[in-house]
Amino acid sequence: MADTLGDRLERILPGGRGVWIPMDHGVSGYPESGLERMDSVVDSAIEGGADAIVLHKGALSHQLGRTGWGSFVCHVSASTVHGGPRSKYKVSVASAEECWQRGAVGVSGQVNLGDEAEPEMISQLGNLTSEAFPLGVPVLGMVYPRGPNLKVADDDDTGGVAHAARIAWELGCNVVKVPWNGSADSFR
């Protein structure tokens, strides 16, 4: 059976919904509670029925080699708490091809809307979807409206979340992660 984009999406979003466990926070700041015992957390997530786990490339290679599980998503955006005023500027640290070669079922990139470096992050996410498309690799776009230059329209009751989701979709992401704004209706 061919492993197509549709097959991969169905694996990580069965029936269009899924439970994903983000474990990519160790790059941004460490120690992160729970990540100091990553192997046992990954084992528990898999045993508990998670549909996907999001990791950076080194952790992904380790966990895939250790578990053989086929639903890891490789996060390619990174920054740290040590970056001073640029600590929210996510830079690309892997390509879709590298993630694919490491065994990832999908890739993930992040944009912080309203950040000084927003244009660069948007460009990087666009490049990621361009790289992933010919490989048939699903892309998760994590887009967060939270930078100091964020402009939210007076009539936008989502606080910029709807625009964030639209950006990810328009750039070619198959899956979108945005912050919860407290209103289920705003996500309809």
Tell me the catalytic residues: 24, 144, 177
H helix intervals, 48-85? 57-67
User: Phi/psi of residue 186, each to 5°?
Assistant: -70, -15
Please report, for the chain, how many H helices and E strands are present, in that order.
6, 8
User: Token pair of 45, please?
Assistant: 């997530």
Dihedral, CA of residue 171, residue 174, residue 178 and residue 182, to nearest 10: 130
**Is 171 buried (19+), middle (13-18) or exposed (0-12) by CB count in 10 A?**
buried
Q: Give the β-pairing of 77-78 and 91-92.
A: antiparallel
Give me the amino acid identity at 30.
Y
Estimate to the nearest angstrom the gap between the alpha carbon of 101 and the chain centroid: 18
Q: What is the CA radius of gyration of the chain?
A: 16
